[in-house]
Amino acid sequence: MIIAVDGPTASGKGTIAKALAAHFGLPHLDTGLLYRAVGLQCARNGGNPDDPADALAACDFPDHLIADPELRSEATGGLASRVSVHPEVRAALYELQRAFATQPGGAVLDGRDIGTVIAPEAEVKLFVTASVPARAERRYDEMRAAGRLADRAQIEADLAARDQRDSARATAPLLQAADATLLDTSLLGREEAIARAITLAEMLSGS
Ligand code: C5P
């Protein structure tokens, strides 16, 4: 069974995807990490993330970059969102994601275009979202818990800018697939959101 979990940043999709993978005993791929690795590698190469050739060259990032703590930073998220605009970059990362999705036994993938582009045949498609203030609040709490300085207004502005860039791009924009089920987590706690996602996945897959 393939489970596709798409949605904007800080919507809870990563937490939900991990929990679904554990519940159904499936491998999980956070596809955002791939775009983050390309963005970070591009910056480290001294390249311009808005330039398609520089961004494409960075798709050759070394495997160990996936474990780099810098990958999780807001700055890297911004770089990821800029390199991910280029169709060349999306094409370069397609095969790896497609192979992961179609492995025997199935998989859970989370991202922006899993249900629309990478695995349109997925049995379960969830589009996880939440309001900008709810997502900013979570990101703020996460940053504070990690001992990092956080400015709530700045976080809200960054999230809105990233949503705008991800939704407006021509290739594989952030979009709810016509056959995806919407899960709005604005008013749900972590455990409630997970429980709701598991119930939906069981219903949709008939398991
Ligand atoms: O999910 P995460 O915030 O880690 O993703 C970082 C950026 O990577 C997103 O803002 C988006 O621009 C890009 N991305 C994408 N397609 C995916 C996953 C992430 O374009 N499947």
DSSP assignment of 159-177 equals HHHHHHHHHH-SSS-S---
From residue 41, alpha-carbon distances to 14, 47, 71, 88 in Å are 22, 9, 10, 16
| pTM (predicted TM-score) | 0.93
Q: How many domains does the chain have?
A: 1
Across residues 158-185, what is the average pLDDT? 90
Domain harbouring 200, CATH code: 3.40.50.300
CA distance 131 to 163: 11
Give the pLDDT of residue 32. Answer: 96
Structural domain harbouring 150 = 2-205
Looking at ligand 1, which atom is closest to the CA of residue 33? Answer: 4
Give the pLDDT of residue 58. Answer: 98
CA distance 194 to 184: 12
Regarding the beta carbon of 31 and ligand 1, being less than 6 Å apart is answered: yes
Residue nearest to atom 4 of ligand 1 (CA): 32
Q: What is the pLDDT of residues 23-63, one digit of tens each?
A: 999 999 999 999 999 999 999 999 999 999 999 999 999 99
Average pLDDT, the chain: 94
Looking at ligand 1, which atom is closest to the CA of residue 109? Answer: 21
Regarding the beta carbon of 82 and ligand 1, being less than 6 Å apart is answered: no
Regarding the beta carbon of 100 and ligand 1, being less than 6 Å apart is answered: no
From residue 64, alpha-carbon distances to 20, 60, 67, 69, 108 in Å are 26, 12, 6, 11, 22
Give the pLDDT of residue 175. Answer: 85
- The answer to whether 5 and 123 are in contact (CB under 8 A) is no
Looking at ligand 1, which atom is closest to the CA of residue 77? Answer: 6
Burial of 11 (0-12, 13-18, 19+ CB in 10 A): buried
Does position 201 have pLDDT exceeding 80, yes or no?
yes
Looking at ligand 1, which atom is closest to the CA of residue 166? Answer: 12
Q: What is the pLDDT of residues 137-151, one digit of tens each?
A: 998 998 899 888 889
Percent share of the chain, pLDDT over 70: 100
Percent share of the chain, pLDDT over 90: 82
Q: What is the pLDDT of residues 55-106, one digit of tens each?
A: 999 999 999 999 999 998 888 999 999 999 999 999 999 999 999 999 999 9
Output the furthest CA–CA distance in the chain (Å, rounded): 49
Residue nearest to atom 2 of ligand 1 (CA): 32
Regarding the beta carbon of 162 and ligand 1, being less than 6 Å apart is answered: yes
Regarding the beta carbon of 163 and ligand 1, being less than 6 Å apart is answered: no
- The answer to whether 134 and 75 are in contact (CB under 8 A) is no
Show Cβ contacts of residue 98 under 8 Å, excluding neighbours closer than 6 positions.
Answer: 118, 119
Across residues 96-121, what is the average pLDDT? 97
Across residues 171-193, what is the average pLDDT? 93
